Amino acid sequence: MKDELEFDAAEVDTPAPKKATYTEDQIRTLDWLEHVRMRPGMYIGKLGDGSQDDDGIYVLLKEVLDNSIDEYMMGYGKTVTVDIAEDGSVEVRDHGRGIPLGSLVDAVSKINTSGKFDNEAFQKSVGLNGVGLKAVNALSDRFEVASVREGMRRAATFEKGVMTADSGMYPSDEPDGTLVRFHPDPEIFPGYAYRFEPVENLIKNFTYLNTGLSIILNGKRYISRKGLLDLLGQRMTHDPLYEIIHLKGHDIEIALTHANQYGEEYYSFVNGQHTTQGGTHLTAFKEAVSRTLRDYFGRSFDYSDIRNGMVAAVAIRVQDPVFESQTKTKLGSREMGPEGPTVAKFISDFVKKELDDYLHRNLDVADAILKKIQESERNRKAMASVSKAAKEKAKKVSVHNRKLIDCNVHLNDTRGAEDKKADSSIFLTEGDSAGGSITKVRNPDTQAVFMLRGKPLNTYGVTQKVLYENEEFNLLQAALNVQDGIDGLRYNKVIIATDADVDGMHIRLLLLTFFLTFFPDLIKNGHVYVLQTPLFRVRNSQTSRRGAKNKNENDTVYCYTDEERIAAIERFGDKAEITRFKGLGEISPEEFRAFIGPMMRLDRVTLRKEDGVDALLEFYMGKNTMERQNFIINNLVIEDDSQL
């Protein structure tokens, strides 16, 4: 009998492709403005509505800020003011040199016009291609730029990239600098809204990388005096085992320590750009630190033991850096500049000398590092036989693993691993019913499914040995390919998709406990999400009974909150037909298609120092059963006295 989750291509009713003509009439030449608006993803990555940290509206803000930061790096303007209004409009004012007035319009509206092409005017800048402000202009329904230089001012306004006014030059007593106001076009970013957290993180990163720079966000001032030392102090969620090592040199700054946590945690930057996907500089840094510690202790420690629990940050400045995309999240440069050393040699030479010198001067820190490495080594060797057997079992099972239904980019795509990871996601579902619904309507090219069986193990307080002996989590680790660290992660998004009931919430918490305990770097690097699915379906009872051809999609509303449900009921009145979805398996595959498509709602799981995760996990997932029971009893709210 065919397994109910096996699908034959012949069973899928796929419409025959339409025949299309291809002649000279289909060849088009677009000007820069048409191209940016038609293909915005080439310039700012994804679009989105602001619910995700990497959505396009944050890229627009960053593109404007990059120019102000470049001015500061060149020694002009110590203060930048950023104001974000409730209507989503943004204003950025710096006190740099100001864009040359005669070139003001061209600088924001001609694609290959920029001061960034001149290495004398801008050295080691993050803005490279003269694209940033033009993309912001093109993707905004309102855009204004003004520049003040030496007592003269000029301003220009645009609508969707088309200039509507030019003030010309006139005297002004304002201080020098550039002002940019923009309102992202709702046609391109429908329903967008700026969230405070990703904006604040962006601002903080700029201050960490530019000590002494003051950025005022909606009236609140941000400034850093200790650079990457401040960054690690803010981002670490566990106490450091020893004083953070902070080293600075010409065009390089590093900070590192260890903590009692699994995995590795890195923050890397190039010319002030947060390279969230790392690159040549991060690879060189990890290699250099590992090799230096090996040499210092005179022991051939395994690199994984040296870096287990390490938390570090590295920032370098490169002349004419080469990034792997316009969004600049991964460095591809091999050299520091046209006549400079390679990135690897530059970082290696610095780390070898400065870190070695530091350890010789701070023997207590060296001793703490040695103890941490030896502890990691002992744990790894103690687990060697268990993990080897578990990995072999996972390897054997994975070929016919009914829990994992993989996506095509991993099965038969020939592109590089990084391209695959950027495109792909995996849904962690609760049972075969929900897994089957998602499997039938997912995008098979980029979306994988892993089906859990029942409630997984509570992993709080257990050892890695127990984790590997647990079949469910052993196979999950194998599916994600994270047994040896998140560098091997096969999916960019790990999406927890459980029912919106008590059992579903419990499974979600057990999965989050697993990630928080053993793979916190997955969360900190923005890979773990929770899928939002509707709690209710409200539809017009009259039209819902019509034939399929007469149904109107506007007569059905999917509600994710009680507020949305009430609004939908008011909309349809007495004709409202309400369905409560208790589990994902109750949602038909066709309905599910919209919930996991391009507009699916995801809540990113975050991990911050102020969350106090260790204490939370100990209280809610630890063995203090009676304490939790008393807490529930003392805080139970009974709305109906008849329940007493």
Q: Is the pLDDT of residue 587 over 90?
A: no
Residue 383 lies in a domain: no
CA dist 256 and 258 (Å) reads 7
Average pLDDT score over residue span 261-286: 87
Question: Which of 11-20, 286-295, 394-403 shows the lowest per-residue confidence on average (mean pLDDT)?
Answer: 11-20
Of 378, 413, 433, at which residue does a domain stop? 378
Q: Are residues 524 and 431 in the same domain?
A: yes
> For residue 463, which amino acid is it?
T
Q: Are residues 218 and 237 in the same domain?
A: no
CA dist 224 and 216 (Å) reads 12
DSSP secondary structure string for all residues of 123-185: SS-S--SS-HHHHHHHTEEEEEEEEEETTEEEEEEEETTEEEEE---EE--SPSEEEEEEEE-
Q: Are residues 292 and 354 in the same domain?
A: yes
**pLDDT number for residue 27:** 54
**pLDDT number for residue 392:** 66
Contacts of 549-553 with CB under 8 Å at 24 or more apart are: none
Q: Is the pLDDT of residue 200 over 70?
A: yes
**pLDDT number for residue 40:** 80
Asked whether 361 and 307 are in contact (CB, 8 A), the reply is: no
Q: 84-117: per-residue pLDDT in tens?
A: 999 999 999 999 999 999 989 988 988 755 444 4
CATH code: domain of residue 94? 3.30.565.10
Positive or negative, the CA dihedral 130, 133, 136, 142 is negative
CATH code: domain of residue 324? 3.30.230.10
Question: Which of 211-220, 336-345, 399-408, 507-516 shows the lowest per-residue confidence on average (mean pLDDT)?
Answer: 399-408
> Does 501 qualify as catalytic in the annotation?
yes
Neighbours of 615 (CB within 10 A): 10
Residue 539 lies in a domain: no
Please state, rounded to an integer, the average pLDDT across all residues of the chain. 82
Residue 42 lies in a domain: yes
| Secondary structure of residue 565 in the 3-state scheme | helix
* Angle value at C-alpha 202, between 198 and 208, nearest 5 degrees: 140
Average pLDDT score over residue span 562-579: 88
CATH code: domain of residue 466? 3.40.50.670
Residue 582 lies in a domain: no
Q: Which helix (H) or strand (E) holds 291?
A: helix 280-297
The pTM score is 0.74
Going by the DSSP 8-state scheme, the letter that residue 274 receives in this structure is E
Average pLDDT score over residue span 607-617: 75
Sorting pLDDT into bands at 50, 70 and 90, what band is 28?
low
> Does 54 qualify as catalytic in the annotation?
no
Q: Are residues 303 and 216 in the same domain?
A: no
Average pLDDT score over residue span 155-171: 93
Of 222, 243, 259, at which residue does a domain stop? 222
**pLDDT number for residue 175:** 94
CA dist 271 and 321 (Å) reads 8
Positive or negative, the CA dihedral 338, 342, 347, 350 is negative
DSSP secondary structure string for all residues of 444-506: TTTEEEEEE-SSPP--TT--HHHHHH-HHHHHHHHHHT-TT-GGG---SEEEEE--SSHHHHH
Task: Pick the catalytic residue from 144, 430, 432, 521.
Answer: 430
Question: Which of 75-84, 196-205, 450-459 shows the lowest per-residue confidence on average (mean pLDDT)?
Answer: 450-459
Between residues 456 and 354, the one the model is more confident about: 354
Task: Pick the catalytic residue from 503, 591, 603, 618.
Answer: 503
* Total structural domains within the chain: 3
Residue 234 lies in a domain: yes
Segments forming the whole domain that contains residue 441: 402-533+603-634
Residue 588 lies in a domain: no
DSSP secondary structure string for all residues of 339-370: TS-BHHHHHHHHHHHHHHHHHHH-HHHHHHHH
**pLDDT number for residue 594:** 78
Asked whether 165 and 205 are in contact (CB, 8 A), the reply is: no
Q: Is the pLDDT of residue 210 over 50?
A: yes
> Does 200 qualify as catalytic in the annotation?
no
Q: Are residues 217 and 266 in the same domain?
A: no
Residue 553 lies in a domain: no
Average pLDDT score over residue span 368-392: 81
Of 222, 251, 273, at which residue does a domain stop? 222
Q: Are residues 485 and 511 in the same domain?
A: yes
Residue 264 lies in a domain: yes
Q: Are residues 465 and 506 in the same domain?
A: yes
Task: Pick the catalytic residue from 70, 499, 521, 555.
Answer: 499
**pLDDT number for residue 641:** 46
Q: Are residues 369 and 310 in the same domain?
A: yes
Neighbours of 558 (CB within 10 A): 20
Task: Pick the catalytic residue from 487, 501, 562, 627.
Answer: 501
CA dist 238 and 260 (Å) reads 7
Between residues 202 and 380, the one the model is more confident about: 202
Q: Are residues 68 and 207 in the same domain?
A: yes
Q: Are residues 217 and 232 in the same domain?
A: no
Q: Which two tokens stand for residue 179?
A: 């002002």
> Does 590 qualify as catalytic in the annotation?
no
The neighbouring-strand residues paired with 354 are: none
Q: Are residues 130 and 266 in the same domain?
A: no
How many CA atoms, within 13 angstroms, populate the side-chain half-sphere of residue 508?
Answer: 18
| Secondary structure of residue 622 in the 3-state scheme | coil
Sorting pLDDT into bands at 50, 70 and 90, what band is 396?
low
In this structure, the chain runs to a length of 644
75 CB-near residues (< 8 Å, 6+ apart): none
> How many angstroms separate the most distant Cα atoms in the chain?
84
Q: Are residues 284 and 367 in the same domain?
A: yes
**pLDDT number for residue 642:** 46
Q: 36-52: per-residue pLDDT in tens?
A: 888 787 777 778 888 87
Question: Which of 157-161, 478-482, 490-494, 623-627 shows the lowest per-residue confidence on average (mean pLDDT)?
Answer: 623-627
Backbone dihedral angles phi then psi of residue 43, each to the nearest 5 degrees: -105, -30
